[in-house]
Amino acid sequence: MDAYVINLDRSADRLARFREINDHIGSVRRFPAIDGAAVDRQALVRDGIFEADILELWRVGAVGCGLSHLELWGEVVRSGRPALICEDDAIFHARFGALSGQLLGALGSAWDFVKWGWNYNAPFGFDIPGLTTIRWIVRADVADISLKVDEFQHYEVAPTIVRLRQSFGTVGYSVSPAGARKLREFCRPIRRMQISGISTAPIGNGGIDVMMNAVPEIRAFAALPPLVMARDDVTTTIS
């Protein structure tokens, strides 16, 4: 499938580091991230991309992140091909290609969206096939995390695919044309909303990853354990 990495023009060093760490995943096309500080906010409202009352609440980075993912979803719809989309702080497991291929193969065509990694300081909710009456919730202990790139890329893992119920972050995922269409149609305009937290109070819309949890009738899955993590030595510049 097509593969994209979202990267700001001013962050050439991050792109170089991404390619150095992840040269094993093959050709990944750079998508110039949209700079949330440079966009015409009035045009975003006029064009129906944002509603005015939410635009003032979103951080500059969240605006750029949301717009970048919306643009890529549009490209997936236009191309008619599934895509791998990631951000430039992503670390891919050394066997990502083979393992992700096996998991997608097991799903066949019955998927819209598959997360390969997520924010580990937030709750992650999922269902295990065959145990649909039980909702599982996990949260990583990140009080003293120090991620070593080589250690993560080469840890022994036999991931399974789970039905995704809630997660946050957009570090790395695959999306089908049908999934991209559902995401794009639901997330435009970006607007005020709350989602039900699986282990917390309702969560207000502060980023595109929040909205992605509320798309109706989307066939969303995740790899467990994850096959992508974010570097812990940088702060993301697009979200």
pLDDT value at residue 56:
84
Compute the average pLDDT of residues 183-197.
94
pTM: 0.91
DSSP letters for 130-195: T-TT--EEE----TT----HHHHHT-----EEEEEEE----SEEEE-HHHHHHHHHHHSSB---EE
CATH number at residue 210: 3.90.550
Q: What's the mean pLDDT in 12-38? A: 95
**Is 144 inside a domain boundary?**
yes
Q: Is residue 235 part of a domain?
A: no
- pLDDT computed for residue 122 by the predictor: 83
Domain with 138, as residue range(s), is 2-230
Q: Which residue has the higher pLDDT, 235 or 171?
A: 171
The answer to whether residue 237 sits within a structural domain is no
Indicate whether 90 belongs to any domain: yes
Range of lowest pLDDT (51-55, 69-73, 96-100): 51-55
Residue at 238 is within a domain? no
Weakest-pLDDT range from 85-94, 129-138, 192-201: 129-138
**The total number of structural domains that make up the chain:** 1
